Structure 1
Amino acid sequence: MATEALNPVRVVIADDQTLVRAGFSSILEDEDDIEIVGQADTGQSALNAARRWMPDVILMDIRMPGTDGLTATEIISADRELDEVKVVILTTFSEDDYVYRALRAGASGFLLKDIDPDDLAGAVRVVAAGDALISPAITRKVISEFAQQVRRPEPAENLNVLTGREREVLRLVAAGLSNRELAEHLYISPATAKTHVSRVMQKLGARDRAQLVVMGYESGLVTPGWARGEDRDR
């Protein structure tokens, strides 16, 4: 007999399509360590749910009537009382142009609406644990394209607080490397790589790994070409 987790991951599902909410709820409700605490069909109702339930994770659709998902994400990320609330954007391949905007708004990651049911619960746990849900494919293919919108980036002054090794870690994270790939690249253990990433986040005041991606591009530390591997050996 399965036993309930002492501290289940609390989730709010925000989407204006009833079938999407019902489908995600049905999948996640079968997990002993995940609890659906609320649903929302508009951005405003998602904001209300965030403040009322203080969930660990909000699965947020982009296109909703009234306040859209990106605006709601931005408001949540700016509210210090909601610092522990992580937002995962629900997206489709046709909405790639929203990815960079969502990262800047404070999203912790992305999920395709047609995600395999077996992967959904794992994705929720990853974000709740504080890791960004950004696949290398999304980072390299989409973020690098939209990073070109940042004209003549100037090195951010706050990067001066980083050591040389930490700047390299930021560069690798922003280019889409996982902790395992980062460890292989720097010839260190995955645990040490994770420690480095956590230290960089702390020094830069980043909510999560997703914000490090934005900082890396906007500071000019990473260029779109490098992220695609074109100048990695230069």
Structure 2
Amino acid sequence: MDFTADLPVVQVRRAVMRRALIATDLPPRVALAMGDEPLLLRYTVGLFGYGLIGCAVTDAESCLRRLAEQPHGLLVCSDSLKGGDVLSLTATVKDRHPQLKVIVIGTAPVQDPALVRAGWVDGLVAERDMTFRSGALQAAVLAALGGHHFRSASMRDLPVPAPISELSPRDYEILEGLADGLTDREIAERLMISPSTAKSYTKRLLQNMGARNRLQALVMALRQGLIRLR
């Protein structure tokens, strides 16, 4: 197909997204985190233009470090990273930077139900929905900047199990620690909180899930697709 006639529309979309970000009270800076380097380069050049790109990384650790060094208004990441897990990354980002808007681009043929359900992800866009004429990514960005949640067309009718309860980003971080076999003290070290706080978070998680102990919580989370064993 010939999309030459649509090129001006693509340029207008980029300009609209730039203006929308600059017009908010958020820092006018975009963070990109994508495990695939060619994909990262494509979005670095084509998403907002170089002027608003604050960082471009391929792993979760680098992303968290850059966000801590300099405030950003928007994080756009893919569902695959070279280091780290996008679910854990986005949960941590929202916990540390609540105002930052998060857009995830789904590149996998079958999307992780936990990611589809993650309430802290402001926009989730399947790469296959991002065509010349759909404007799916622009819609996700504008919705997120306006304080709304967005799921692209193929994401809206996915069969997702009913959630156990409304879990917070911190709850998911605790679950990830349980899945990795960590003690409360080790979870505290990972999350840079005190052991007593980690213990309190774990207790709250069990109550939220209606679980008797850590093992039952882990089994329930695995069955619901809330976490994955690495």
Q: TM-score, normalised by structure 2?
A: 0.52
Compute the displacement of 1:124 (Å): 2.1
Structure 2 contact 36–58 (Cα < 8 Å) conserved? yes
Q: SS state of the match for residue 109, structure 2? A: helix
Aligned partners of 2:86, 2:160: CA distance in 1, in Å?
A: 19
2:99 matched residue in structure 1: 84
**Which residue of 123, 143, 149 maps to 1:109?**
123
**Which residue of 81, 86, 90 maps to 1:64?**
81
Compute the displacement of 1:83 (Å): 1.0
**Which residue of 52, 56, 72 maps to 1:55?**
72
* Structure 2 residues not aligned, in runs of 5+: 1-14, 167-208, 210-230
**Which residue of 21, 43, 49 maps to 2:40?**
21
> Cα deviations across residues 85-112 of structure 1 (Å, max 9, x unaligned)?
111111135132x143353362112122
Identity %: 15
Compute the displacement of 1:20 (Å): 0.7
1:95 matched residue in structure 2: 110
Cα separation, partners in 2 of 1:105 and 1:65, compared to 1, 3 Å:
farther
Aligned partners of 1:102, 1:78: CA distance in 2, in Å?
A: 18
Count of matched residue positions in the alignment of Structure 1 and Structure 2 = 143
> Cα deviations across residues 56-105 of structure 1 (Å, max 9, x unaligned)?
111122221332211111111222xx011111111135132x14335336
1:38 matched residue in structure 2: 55
Aligned partners of 1:29, 1:73: CA distance in 2, in Å?
A: 21
List aligned pairs for 1:115-154, cutoff 5 A: 115-116=130-131, 119=135, 120-135=137-152, 137-139=154-156, 141-142=157-158, 145-148=159-162, 150=163
Aligned partners of 2:152, 2:102: CA distance in 1, in Å?
A: 16
Could you say what the CA RMSD is over the residues aligned between the two structures, in angstroms? Answer: 3.2
Q: TM-score, normalised by structure 1?
A: 0.51
> Cα deviations across residues 28-65 of structure 1 (Å, max 9, x unaligned)?
2349xx71111111011111222223221111222213
Compute the displacement of 1:147 (Å): 2.2
Compute the displacement of 1:136 (Å): 6.1
